[in-house]
Structure 1
Amino acid sequence: MLIQAIEIAAALIGLAMILSFWRLLRGPDILDRILALDTLTINAIALLVLFGLHTNSTTYFELALLMAIMGFVGTVALCKYLLRGDLIE
């Protein structure tokens, strides 16, 4: 039962990743593309957590945590670049 739930959740998250990637490619504005990239990162983190549950391994949870930190820093850096035009003051 748990395996089936993980497989269904992974399929739905995969669909969400495809839709986020479509918005990343076709976004009318740079802000839409940044939001799509952040959403794609969150979906990838969710897939890593699901794969960790499926394989019963803690390594994927640590990888998901590192990916979350890098995704947050990347989003903040892109937004700061858009607001000020440079990253370092």
Structure 2
Amino acid sequence: MSCESVVETHKTLSALSAKVLEGVAAGSSTIQLASQLYLSRQGVEYHVNVMLRKFKVPNRAALVSRVYSMGMFDHTAWPPAVLPEYIR
């Protein structure tokens, strides 16, 4: 496996994780996201915590900042949308 493959795999998100991330970036609460995505509150927290570890950040604000800085969001859209090339 090449180094590039490792980087690409590391940056990709599942479709559901991408939706959770978009909601976090838009400022939605855990309960709002759970309702919108038909998940439990714990399910949303699970996806958020996986992304916090994946991107090595301490909190939601830092997660959104890191993802923006990596160019994973469409910077021309509001609410934020994860670009399709980062969704597996």
TM-score range, shorter chain: 0.3 to 0.5
Structure with bigger helix share is 1
* Structure ranking higher on relative contact order (CA contacts 8 Å, 6+ apart): 2
- TM-score scaled to structure 1, two decimals? 0.34
Q: Which of the pair has more CA radius of gyration?
A: 1
- TM-score scaled to structure 2, two decimals? 0.34
